[in-house]
Amino acid sequence: MEEALDFLRVAMEVERSTKTELTTRAAWLAFMRFARRRFATAPTPDSDGLLFQYGTYAFTGRPMFTVDLTRQFDITDDDGEHDHYVQVHCELRYECEPALDALGSFNSWFFPRHQCGPR
């Protein structure tokens, strides 16, 4: 899973290029590059999933509009049974604005068809 985290970090740096801040579009493009990358995962339907979610939340005490891009991996034990999940995510936070608040909240999971090993 360290490989997955390193891959996302590099993708974010590539999108950032010479900018001091990563834009929303750049973060999205980097995450989509990361999402297309296959990693060695268990041969189960939910071993590698993508979650897109947004909404206004007060996780840090102050309400912020938050966009969260997450990739979740199912980690199995030596017998191939589920042990735990590892999530790698990119979270973008914005000051609350009426237009963002009007979007409400949303979440959607996607599990690509399993393909064993890196590609």
Which conformational region is residue 31 in: left (phi greater than 0), alpha (psi within -120 to 50 degrees), or beta? alpha
Confirm whether 117 is domain-assigned.
Answer: no
Q: Which residue type, as a one-letter code, is found at position 34?
A: F
The pTM of this model reads 0.78
Q: How many domains does the chain have?
A: 1
Look at residue 41 and tell me if it is in a domain: yes
What does each of the 119 residues of the chain score in pLDDT, given as a tens digit? 678 888 888 887 777 665 556 788 888 988 999 999 988 888 888 899 999 999 999 988 999 999 999 999 999 888 988 899 999 989 999 999 999 999 999 999 999 865 554 44
Q: What's the domain range around 70?
A: 2-110
Q: Which amino acid is at 91?
A: E
* Residue 12 forms part of a structural domain: yes
